[in-house]
């Protein structure tokens, strides 16, 4: 099994487990087929998200995916957008403040005739 297949299987199994636990807590029973479909859906959706994030990053001519890319990804899903905005606030509060960079003074040309 390749690394990608292992990752896909792990994501699918985790999605099925979370769905099943949600069902138990909500008195909803899911068939095995429904759990498998949900697992596949989650894997496929995450793949599309990854492709979109890479596209945003490349379009901006960057080498890293940024918070702005994630915000752009969730812009049409109000509840997910609120969730991401809250997480960004928490991360910003916990992030140590960066020391302000001091600009270097330009040296005045020295008169070498002295």
Q: Label residue 96 by pLDDT band (50, 70, 90).
A: confident
Q: What is the pLDDT of residues 68-95, one digit of tens each?
A: 999 999 999 999 999 999 999 999 898 8
pLDDT at 105: 63
Q: How many other C-beta atoms lie within 10 A of the C-beta of residue 9?
A: 13
pTM over 0.85: no
Q: Rounded distance, CA 8 to CA 17, Å?
A: 14
Predicted local confidence at residue 114, as pLDDT:
53
Query: Reduced to 3 states, what is the DSSP secondary structure of residue 22?
Result: helix
Q: What percent of the chain has pLDDT over 70?
A: 84
Sketch out the chain's domains with CATH numbers.
3-89 (1.10.20.10)
Which of 34-43, 58-67, 100-109 bottoms out in mean pLDDT, i.e. has the lowest?
Answer: 100-109
**Which residue matches tokens 């915000």?**
71
Question: Is pLDDT larger for residue 99 or for residue 44?
Answer: 44
Token couple for 42: 């989650």
């Amino acid at each position: 099994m390749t690394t990608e297949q292992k990752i896909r299987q792990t994501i699918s199994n985790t999605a099925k487990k979370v769905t099943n636990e949600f069902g138990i807590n909500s008195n909803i029973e899911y068939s095995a087929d429904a759990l498998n479909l949900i697992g596949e859906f989650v894997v496929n959706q995450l793949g599309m998200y990854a492709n979109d994030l890479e596209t945003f990053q490349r379009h901006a001519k960057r080498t890293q995916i940024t918070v702005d890319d994630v915000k752009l990804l969730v812009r049409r899903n109000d509840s997910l957008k609120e969730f991401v905005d809250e997480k960004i606030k928490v991360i910003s509060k916990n992030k140590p403040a960066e020391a302000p960079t001091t600009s270097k003074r330009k040296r005045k040309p020295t008169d070498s005739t002295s």
